[in-house]
Amino acid sequence: MALSIDRTVGIGGVTIGLIGTGIVVLWPQKRWLGWAFIGLGVLIAVVAIVWALAVRHARKEFADRHREALPSPTAQLTQNALINPQFNPVIAPVFAPNFNQAQAQEQRPRINDPSRYKNTKIAIQCLGAEFLDVELTPWYEIAPRPDGHGEPAKAAIIEFRRNADEPAVDYINLTAQIELHPTSERNSTLIRQARWLARDEARLALHASFRIQTVRRLAVALVKGNSAVTYEGYYQKEDIFAVFREEFQPLYEDEYEVEVHLFGTKQNLGVTVDERFYFELSFSKMSFRPKD
């Protein structure tokens, strides 16, 4: 690595200073050595000053020459016109409209303006419906993580998915209400607190959060032995745990038409989901499928 003159002078000065200090300590009677080092130090100082002045003068002279070599804008335009006769620069004033802040806000559409999404369609699709093998906890909750130690049962479960739609609606919470209509003359059975299934604390809520491509499962009914009941209830906090409190209703009929009502609103965007899905349920055939 090449050393510049100023760095060389600096290193030389430090070296001479250290050597001179050492000589004074070791041989204080050698006065001629002291005068020699003083003279050498003065010489180095003079060289450093002369070098600094020379560098400054050279840089200033270079800057002046470079400034003189640059053509002026007028000369550049004249030169371009001589080279290219078709070159005809036009210098015109630029006028910019002066909008006040209120006008700018009126013209710029607001991102979260509910009117932009009032007619937005949230694409909720039923992926299927079937009876699945499940395990029940001691509180008759469908086990979020089956381990082989729960009570076996079968559950009528529906899968819903939110397909690709409006990305600005990052998520929407949907609640389900289920009504089972028997094929006979009996009254219908209404499930007011339908339960969404999940493996985490999301199952504690009565709604399910749907982002794009999110799949959620909804439980409708349970079959334990020879009896069938609705799957519904609520969660009650005990100490640090949330315990499921079932509110099952018996289902005496063999066949039902199941109506599932999904509804929810994204308040800040004014987006609403209000859809109904229909299914056919048969306990004797253990069949549960969307209605044609």
What pLDDT score was predicted for residue 53?
81
Would residue 220 count as lying in a domain?
A: yes
Query: Domain boundary residue among 55, 83, 111?
Result: 83
What pLDDT score was predicted for residue 192?
87
What pLDDT score was predicted for residue 55?
73
What pLDDT score was predicted for residue 246?
94
What pLDDT score was predicted for residue 26?
73
Would residue 231 count as lying in a domain?
A: yes
Report field, pTM of the whole predicted structure over 0.95: no
Would you mind telling me the total number of residues written for the chain in this entry?
292
How far is C-alpha 125 from the chain's CA centre? 25
Helices vs strands, H then E, count in the chain? 4, 13
Closest CA to 195 of 242, 127, 257, 265: 242
Q: Which domain holds residue 137?
A: 122-290
Note whether 138 and 272 are same-domain residues. Answer: yes
Residues of the chain scoring pLDDT < 70: 1-9, 30, 62-115
Cα–Cα distance, 79 to 1 (Å, whole number): 46
Would residue 110 count as lying in a domain?
A: no
Query: Domain boundary residue among 66, 83, 100?
Result: 83
What pLDDT score was predicted for residue 2?
45
Would residue 180 count as lying in a domain?
A: yes
What pLDDT score was predicted for residue 65?
64
What pLDDT score was predicted for residue 215?
97
Convert the pLDDT of each residue in 1-16 to its tens digit: 445 666 666 777 777 7
Backbone angles phi, psi at 247, to 5 degrees: -130, 50
Note whether 32 and 173 are same-domain residues. Answer: no
Note whether 219 and 271 are same-domain residues. Answer: yes
Q: How many domains does the chain have?
A: 2
What pLDDT score was predicted for residue 103?
54
Would residue 109 count as lying in a domain?
A: no
Would residue 111 count as lying in a domain?
A: no
Note whether 143 and 209 are same-domain residues. Answer: yes
What pLDDT score was predicted for residue 68?
54
Cα–Cα distance, 204 to 87 (Å, whole number): 76
Query: Domain boundary residue among 28, 53, 83?
Result: 83
